[in-house]
Amino acid sequence: MTTIIDGKQLAKALNAQTKTRVAALAAQGKVPGLAVIIVGTDPASELYVRSKHRKAGQLGINSIVRQLPATISQADLLAVVRAYNVDPTIHGILVQSPLPNGLDETAVINAIDPGKDVDGFHPVNVGRLFKNLPGHYPVSCTPRGIMTMLESLQTPLRGKHAVVVGRSNIVGRPMAAMLLNADMSVTITHKYGSNLRALTTTADVLVVATGVTHLIKEADVKPGAIVIDVGMDRDADGKLTGDVDFDAVFDKVHAISPVPGGVGPMTIATLMRQTVDLCEWSDELGNE
Ligand SMILES: Nc1nc(=O)c2c([nH]1)NC[C@@H]1CN(c3ccc(C(=O)N[C@@H](CCC(=O)O)C(=O)O)cc3)C=[N+]21
């Protein structure tokens, strides 16, 4: 029997824990604060930002959405970020990606206080993750949520082989680091890999984040594998689907995450969790 890794259900459980932690902080007079900066009016970005804002409200997190015009200058955008850096009511700052053309996303990420970097995109936090440093720091929410999904299976990861298909800064690279930190052997490839199938068929854990609809078919997976689909693609009918042909691989694998209802809800739940983490850590991180 194949296990469907139900991201919606896992997100619900995680959000319940987060809500309890928010209540405990409230008893100390603390309210976690999240500032979401969105530049321009891209409908998909507005949709994501709205769902984060709604979830934060449900959990008792103080979420501020700051929508700025696409015509804003780089200097003015940096000034907005810096103002949140020194705002004691804000514990997490998120700049919705992608930024409109003409704005330098790297410079904006670099301007975020690493102690308020709720996306885990700042190079200081990326460096900590890649060095597997001890201590408290934020990491990228999608791969952190995927680690929670893998833990829910209660299958030992140590010594097993993970293959990550995708090398983005948001998913592929930090995912590989987290799996390596979990004592797995890790192979990173991407949609240009000419030997893709030779690699993916050796994966005990296969994480696919390419944006290529149904890139992974039945012949591309190892029997009994755990498959995590990070794709958010539209099929010919405009329906949301993943990078894995779910129906084709289903009977062959041990466990698989669906799209929708898999990684997406866990990304948002992990963002909420990490906002509360940053609030709890704020004394030691020196931003209060
Ligand atoms: N600074 C920044 N941080 C982000 O975390 C970030 C970002 N920029 N830019 C865009 C991506 C995308 N993203 C998603 C989160 C949840 C779902 C999600 O919950 N999806 C639902 C389906 C939603 C639908 O039906 O369209 C699901 O998979 O079940 C999707 C996409 C966060 N992102």
Q: What is the pLDDT of residue 286?
A: 64
Ligand 1 pocket mutation pick from 97, 171, 274 by most atoms within 8 angstroms of CB: 97
Q: Active-site residue numbers?
A: 52, 96, 119
Alpha carbon of 280 to ligand 1 centroid (Å): 25
* Distance from C-alpha of 3 to C-alpha of 255, rounded to nearest angstrom: 4
Q: Which two tokens stand for residue 36?
A: 């979401």
* pLDDT, the chain, mean: 97
Integer Cα distance of 151 and 193 in angstroms: 28
Burial class of 176 by CB neighbour count within 10 A (0 to 12, 13 to 18, 19+): buried
> Is the pLDDT score of 89 beyond 80?
yes
pLDDT confidence of residue 287: 54
* Ligand 1 close to Cβ of residue 48 (< 6 A): yes
Confirm or reject: Cβ of 94 under 6 Å from ligand 1.
yes
**Residue 285 pLDDT class (50, 70, 90 cuts):** confident
Closest CA to ligand 1's atom 20? 264
Nearest-CA residue for ligand 1 atom 22 is 260
Task: Please work out whether the CB of residue 92 comes within 6 Å of at least one atom of ligand 1.
Answer: no
Give 126's pLDDT tier (boundaries 50, 70, 90): very high
Q: Is 270 in the pocket of ligand 1 (CB under 6 A)?
A: no
DSSP E strand boundaries for the chain: 3-4, 33-39, 62-68, 92-95, 161-165, 185-189, 205-208, 226-229, 233-234, 240-241, 255-256
272 CB near ligand 1 (under 6 Å)? no
Closest CA to 122 of 279, 274, 231: 274
- Residue 120 corresponds to which tokens in the numbers above? 């885990």
Please state which architecture CATH assigns to domain 141-263. 3-Layer(aba) Sandwich (3.40)
Domain ranges of the chain: 29-122, 141-263
pLDDT tens digits, residue range 24-44? 999 999 999 999 999 999 999
Residue type at position 115: G
Whether pLDDT at 288 is above 50: no
Number of helices (H), then strands (E), belonging to the chain: the values are 10, 11
- Looking up tokens 């996306």, which residue turns up? 119
The mean per-residue pLDDT over the stretch 165-192 comes to 98
Q: Is the CB of 59 under 6 A from ligand 1?
A: no
| Residues ≥6 apart with Cβ < 8 Å to 130 | 177
CA dihedral 259→261→267→273, nearest 10 degrees, is -170
Task: Indicate whether 160 pLDDT > 50.
Answer: yes
Q: DSSP class of residue 216?
A: B
* Ligand 1 near 123 CB (within 6 A): no
Burial string for 22-35 (b: 16+ CB within 10 Å, else e) reads beebeeeebebbbb
Residues facing 187 on adjacent strands = 163
Q: State the average pLDDT over residues 82-104.
A: 98
Beta carbons within 8 Å of 119's beta carbon, 6+ residues apart: 94, 95, 109, 138, 140, 141, 170, 271
Distance CA 134, CA 84 (A): 27
pLDDT at 192: 94
Chain centroid, CA 91 distance in Å: 18
Please check whether the two domains, 29-122 and 141-263, share a CATH topology. yes
The ipTM is: 0.95
Nearest-atom index, ligand 1, CA of 7: 29
User: What is the residue type of 159?
Assistant: G
Least confident among 61-65, 90-94, 143-147, 280-284: 280-284
Q: Is the dihedral of CA 125, 130, 165, 158 positive or negative?
A: negative
Binding residues, as ranges, are 166-168
For the residues of 118-153, what is the DSSP string, one character each?
TT--SHHHHHHHHHT--S-----HHHHHHHHHHHHT
pLDDT more than 70, % of the chain: 99
Please name the residue whose Cα sits nearest to atom 3 of ligand 1: 96
Q: Could you confirm whether domain 29-122 is CATH 1.20.120.160?
A: no
Q: Do 35 and 64 touch, CB atoms closer than 8 A? A: yes
Task: Return binding residues for NADP(+).
Answer: 166-168
Is residue 185 pLDDT above 60, yes or no? Answer: yes
pLDDT, residue 284, reads 83
- Indicate the top mutation candidate among 5, 39, 48, 121 to test ligand 1's pocket, ranked by most ligand atoms within 8 A of CB: 48
Per-residue pLDDT tens digits for 250-263: 999 999 999 999 99
